[in-house]
Amino acid sequence: MQVFKRHHNTLARVFVISGLLAIVGLAVGGSAITRSPWWTKVGEPPDQPVPFSHKHHYEELGIDCRYCHWSVTQSAHAGVPSSEVCMTCHSQIWTNSPLLEPVRDSYNNNKPLVWNKVNNLPEFVYFDHSAHVNKGISCASCHGGIEKMHLTHKSQYFSMQWCLDCHRNPEQHIRPKEEVFNMYYKTPRTEEEMKAMLDRYNIPYDPNNIPRNQLELGRLLVKHYNIHKEQLSDCSICHR
């Protein structure tokens, strides 16, 4: 007896091909989804107890990053400021603002404020802020555009690929140490500007061979700061 009819051939082909397509589609689609901002939450500010604005404090008031994140140059963690730091100003201004009620409450009653993390790294990654800001990698390189953020959100998805892009080619992002906390820094475009900057920060250079662009400046700085480029992509640099 004939169990399979002729049209079953077509059906079988359709199933096999669509099955294969589904596997490929799942892989491609899944990977696209996990990298999309919808999944990674890039650009989406999480809820916070206090709607703190980096734009207001940094851009409009000109407060340095280190006023609040003062451990950034000495510790692995940049540190979330204590309520006491907020109160240095807010005991004088906006003293009755209802938005600041949680901060006052925290300070007066010795209760910690619970913020929500914006950026997060897996626990097997050991990132050190001090190692970066002391070697000419700016806050902006990872937290780019923070000076424009009213509510703080992720500006990058910290995938390993993204970290390695810079660890393999730090020249593309490095800048003079003194400019690390300057969110408006631009690589000097003209020779004069470049020379003036290098002189300003006592960075030795060959007068006949003044760097013309970020890459050339980067090479100069990598050498000047004794950065062992080949070592930066060692596993043991970030994983312990």
Interacting residues with another protein (CB under 8 A): 30, 34, 39-41, 46, 71, 73-77, 79-85, 106-107, 109-117, 120-124, 126, 128, 130-131, 134-135, 225-226, 228, 230-231, 234-237, 239-240
| Contact partners, residue 193, CB within 8 Å, separation at least 6 | none
How many residues in total does the chain contain?
Answer: 240
- Beta carbon of residue 34, minimum distance to another protein (angstroms, whole number): 5
Task: Give the position of tokens 């669509």.
Answer: 18
- Beta carbon of residue 212, minimum distance to another protein (angstroms, whole number): 25
Q: CB-wise, 141 or 152, nearer to another protein?
A: 152
Q: CB-wise, 15 or 126, nearer to another protein?
A: 126
Q: CB-wise, 130 or 156, nearer to another protein?
A: 130
* Alpha-carbon separation of residue 25 from 31, 38, 70, 118, 218 (angstroms): 10, 18, 47, 31, 41
- Beta carbon of residue 58, minimum distance to another protein (angstroms, whole number): 18
Q: CB-wise, 5 or 117, nearer to another protein?
A: 117
Which residues on neighbouring strands pair with residue 154, listed in sequence order? 42
* Alpha-carbon separation of residue 204 from 53, 64, 176, 194 (angstroms): 39, 28, 12, 12
